[in-house]
Structures are given as C-alpha cells and as structure tokens.
Amino acid sequence: MALQVWLDGRLVPEEEARVSVFDHGLLYGDGVFEGIRAYDGIVFRLKEHLDRLYNGARVIMLDIPLSQEEMTQAVLETIRANGLRDAYIRLVVTRGVGDLGLDPRKCPRASVFIIAAGIALYPEEVYINGLRLITCSVRRNSPDALDGSIKSLNYLNNIMAKMEAIRAGVPEGIMLTTDGYVAECTGDNIFLVRGERLITPPTSIGNLPGITRGAVMEIAARQGLEVREELFRLASVYTAEEVFVTGTAAEIVPVVEVDGRPVGAGKPGPVTKRLLDGFRELTKTDGEPIYP
C-alpha cells in the first residue's frame, strides 16, 4: 500500500504529495520541522515536540494554520492511516508559496505536511559496540546569527559537517562553537560521563534543546546522577569516562572513539547502558496513544 502523507489538511498517496517550486521552504529554507518517534502505539513526548515547533514558528513569525490540538490530531491521523505502531514522523511547516523574492509577506499561507514511516538510523550492533566520531572543522552557527533553539529547514551547517564526517569514514561528527567549545554533533546532542556526573553543553551556545536530551537528563537525575550543563572543550571529551550522543532517531548511542582516541575503556560504559535501558522503559508510557 502506498504511504499516506498528510498535506495541507488531507491525506494523499506519497506520489501525489507535492509542494510548489515557489514554496519558500524549498527556495530559502524558510520554515520549521520536527522529527518524532512512535513506540508500540505511543507517540513519545508529542506535546514537547509540538511545543518546540510552535515556539520556533513564533520566533520566526510563522503563523501555523492549525492549533496545537489540531496538529496533534493530524499527526495521529497520519500514523493511523499508515497502520503503524512504531514509526518515525517528520512534521514540516513551510512559509508557503510566494514569489522569487525573500519577502515572507508574499506567502499568504503556511504549508504543513506530515510523513509517518519507518526509520533505522543505526543498526543494533552500534548500540552494542559504539560509535567512532571525529571533530568537524565546520563550526556550529553562532547563536548571534541564528538561534539554535529553532529547528529550521535550513540545515546546511549540519550537512556540511556531516559530509566531513562521512569523508572521514565515520557516521557522526562533533561540531564546535566559533570559540572552540563543544556544541553538539551534526544530528545529535552530546553527553560526557565523569564518575557520578553527567555533563552536556548548555543550549545557550547555539545547540538544539533536544527532546531526547531532556528525557535523558531527567532519567539520569532519577538514577542518582548529578546532571550539569556546562561549557567544555575537546580535552574533556578525550578524557571522559564515557561519551554518548542522543537524538530522536538515534535514541542514546555510546561513543567509543573520538579523533582516534579511545573513550574510557574503548567500549560502551555502564552508565550509558543504564540510561538507554531507562529511556526505552520511558518510551513505553510517556506520550500520546495513537489508537483509542
């Protein structure tokens, strides 16, 4: 059966799901999006994802033509239409159709589309054996230029860094701020473990306030770990006892090597495993049921 895509108020087969070449999301990356996961009939933290979507839209003065409750129902309807219980959902809001100029006033109505399908970012052996990372020369956008809390359609900064990681033969790379602090990875947030402390960069330096990141910080606190948001440089990554990355698609992935240096014992550590187990338990109950 063809995938059903929610497009501006109606479900259409994927081959009919088209946007205009004059859409400013395509022409200028003008819009916001969310990547969301469903686990066994529950959309994990859908409210938090939609809060971030609507907050980002407010910042860029983008009027979403659905209320948040209507958007919730549109997401659930799309998943149901595809008969899914486990899914990756991509929700996109563009500025809409305009002319070839930059002026957003020429776009009378935003466009919304929702895709619900399967995804497997990393194979299971990565969670068992861990990831190798490099540090990318491409720096994270300065928050003085573009607020990192906005999950915008303009991902070129991350894509350039991702290309560098791929050329180095690794699936992910660390991005630094313009003044050399660790910010995030190309598609994930990053955490260090030191004893009973969990450390992650603050979002104020331009990295995304990830939904999985927030969940991990809550789980860690419940497990008795001290959770800190603080600045650190690469030397702290190289000397950490454990390193892991988090993201909606990735969940929690252990890191075993950075820039050719083994992390800790060079294998996934016990704190990372404990947090991953806690996260997978959380996804069973924390979210919006798809089916009544």
- For residues 227 and 198, the answer to whether their CB atoms sit within 8 Å is yes
Q: Which domains does the chain have, with CATH numbers?
A: 4-117 (3.30.470.10), 124-282 (3.20.10.10)
- For residues 71 and 50, the answer to whether their CB atoms sit within 8 Å is yes
Predicted confidence (pLDDT) per residue in 48-62, tens digit: 999 999 999 999 999
- Which uninterrupted H or E stretch holds 245? strand 242-247
Residue pointed to by tokens 């003065």: 61
CA pair distance 174, 161, nearest whole angstrom: 8
Record the tokens describing residue 140, joined without a space: 């994270």
- Which uninterrupted H or E stretch holds 178? none
Residue 101 CB partners (closer than 8 Å, separation 6+): none
Record the tokens describing residue 198, joined without a space: 């969990």
- For residues 215 and 209, the answer to whether their CB atoms sit within 8 Å is no
**Which residues are registered as beta bridge partners of 132?**
257
Record the tokens describing residue 69, joined without a space: 């409750």
Annotated catalytic residues are: 151
Mean pLDDT of the chain: 96
Per-residue pLDDT of the chain (292 residues), as tens digits, is 789 999 999 999 999 999 999 999 999 999 999 999 999 999 999 999 999 999 999 999 999 999 999 999 999 999 999 999 999 999 999 999 999 999 999 999 999 999 999 877 788 899 999 999 999 999 999 999 988 889 999 999 999 999 999 999 999 999 999 999 999 999 999 999 999 999 999 999 999 999 999 999 999 999 999 999 999 999 999 999 999 999 999 999 999 999 999 999 999 999 999 999 999 999 999 999 999 8
Q: What is the pLDDT of residue 122?
A: 83
- For residues 182 and 176, the answer to whether their CB atoms sit within 8 Å is yes
Q: Are strands 42-44 and 31-39 parallel, antiparallel or unpaired?
A: antiparallel
Residue 67 CB partners (closer than 8 Å, separation 6+): none
Alpha carbon dihedral 181, 184, 189, 195, in 10-degree steps, equals: -30
Q: What is the pLDDT of residue 186?
A: 97
- Which uninterrupted H or E stretch holds 271? helix 270-282
Q: How many CB atoms lie within 10 A of CB 102?
A: 11
